[in-house]
Amino acid sequence: MHTQTVAQLAQGLREKRFSSVELTQHFCSRIEELDPIYNAFITLNKDAALAAAAAADQRLASDNATALTGIPIAHKDIFCTLGLRTSCGSRMLDNFIPPYDATVIKRFNEAGAIILGKTNMDEFAMGSSNENSFYGAVKNPWDQTTVPGGSSGGSAAAVAALLAPAATGTDTGGSIRQPAAFCGITGLKPTYGRVSRLGMVAYASSLDQGGPMAHTALDCALLLNTMAGHDPLDSTSAQDPVQDYTQDLEQPLKGLRIGLPREYFGEGLDPGTGACIQAALQELESQGASLVDINLPNSKLTIPAYYIIAPAEASTNLSRYDGVRYGHRCEDPGDLHDLYTRTREEGFGDEVKRRILVGTYALSAGYYDAYYKKAQQARRLISDNFTAAFEQVDIIAGPTTPGTAFPLGAKSDDPVAMYLEDVYTLAVNLAGLPGISVPAGFVDGKPVGLQLIGRHFAEAQLLNVGHRYQQATDWHQQAPVTGGTL
């Protein structure tokens, strides 16, 4: 059962080839047996999952089911889950049991999906390698000496290792797409506001967005059908109507104009990765798409702008963790100042502290205009570049990452080198656009991801292109030796 996609499992449940209880037990057993190798999960939700699966079987028997009823799904440990620990990969929230469900979790529950457990992640979603977790680094199932990418590395590793058929992730600067590329799965970052952020613990509020991670574009479409939609309790939630994202997956690509930014194919791109991307583009061209050279001249501003704006927002969002209201609290504080300082010193890891310091400095009196304001002006220039590009093309394509997964610890002492891993993904978040990464080959046995970027609310088009590419290739069907082949 673990070698089947979400769509195949859903069909199997409808045809009564197996029950949701059997399916859920199967994945729980795999997690118990194999996750000590990968460290993809922080919390396994076995007892509650089996109870929910029994309820799902009754719902399936009564013909009152949705496409996801009875399907086990793993959730990134950044989504609040009623009665189930939500740690954000941090000591600060190691003891936090939310009193409510995030809107994303609520919608999956209403659809009858099963919560397998909560996946490991970079602390408070800050990182590109999933080495910044209080619970230890996650291992890439393709090569356990390498990183799975971050911050949604636990979700990506769980899907790649066939410990879960699908998972949720969040993307602030590439944290769905980059680990999807490193782990050889499909990951979609929706348009900002397409998926509710209520109950999704905030890192950078103007950039964060939840999205699906699975083996195929079809599976991501099925998950997005449940995740997407206006949430009146989230003021940043978009009111644009939600379509059925599976409806247009089979549309032919004839006439599609694909933009190729010169800035994405130059210095810094690994030659092997570049060759895989070129081969993928040729496949899309063979299906009737045309390739158009374009420029995104302000791409060089992406990393400096992001690493001012995101830390600044993080500095504000993480000020709530002070040992007073909830979360970690230091022992025997001498006074209020001691409570604050020791709680935060003990509760936060090095990368989180680094970003808080950068963000606080950028927002401080005398530096706000010099740094934060300039970064926001650069953000507008980056967004304007995309607007101009979409006057010439329908979607934009390129590599998801400069290379394949790098060794554990290789960049831990060099934050700037780590930040450069997101050079092709950050701009999508700054502009609020949707982006998807689909498997596009291997270099030395490690997966490569093709990134597709669309106009605002063009998720259906991205899923269509990804699906048509996957109909013609089998990269998405490959799995590590421990799992099998889809």
Catalytic residue among 19, 76, 128, 139: 76
Give the H/E segment covering residue 284.
Answer: helix 271-286
| Beta bridge partners of residue 436, listed in sequence order | 188, 452
**Which tokens is 79 given?**
């989504």
Catalytic residue among 87, 128, 151, 299: 151
Active-site residue, 151 included: yes
Going by the DSSP 8-state scheme, the letter that residue 143 receives in this structure is: B
Pairing of β 257-261 and β 395-399:
parallel
Cα separations (Å) of 17 from 5, 8, 20?
15, 11, 10
User: Residue 459 in contact with residue 191, Cβ under 8 Å?
Assistant: yes
- Three-state secondary structure call for residue 466: helix
- Three-state secondary structure call for residue 10: helix
- CA 443, distance to chain mean position in Å, is 22
| Beta bridge partners of residue 38, listed in sequence order | none
Catalytic residue among 129, 155, 175, 315: 175
- Three-state secondary structure call for residue 59: helix
| Beta bridge partners of residue 74, listed in sequence order | 117, 167
User: Residue 457 in contact with residue 189, Cβ under 8 Å?
Assistant: no
Active-site residue, 76 included: yes
Three-state SS sequence of 183-228: HCCEEEECCCCCECCCCECCCCCCCCCEEEEECCHHHHHHHHHHHE
| CA nearest neighbour of 186 among 210, 166, 162 | 166
Rounded to whole angstroms, the Cα distance separating 250 from 180 reads: 23
- Three-state secondary structure call for residue 177: helix
Rounded to whole angstroms, the Cα distance separating 39 from 163 reads: 11
The catalytic site residues sit at 76, 151, 175
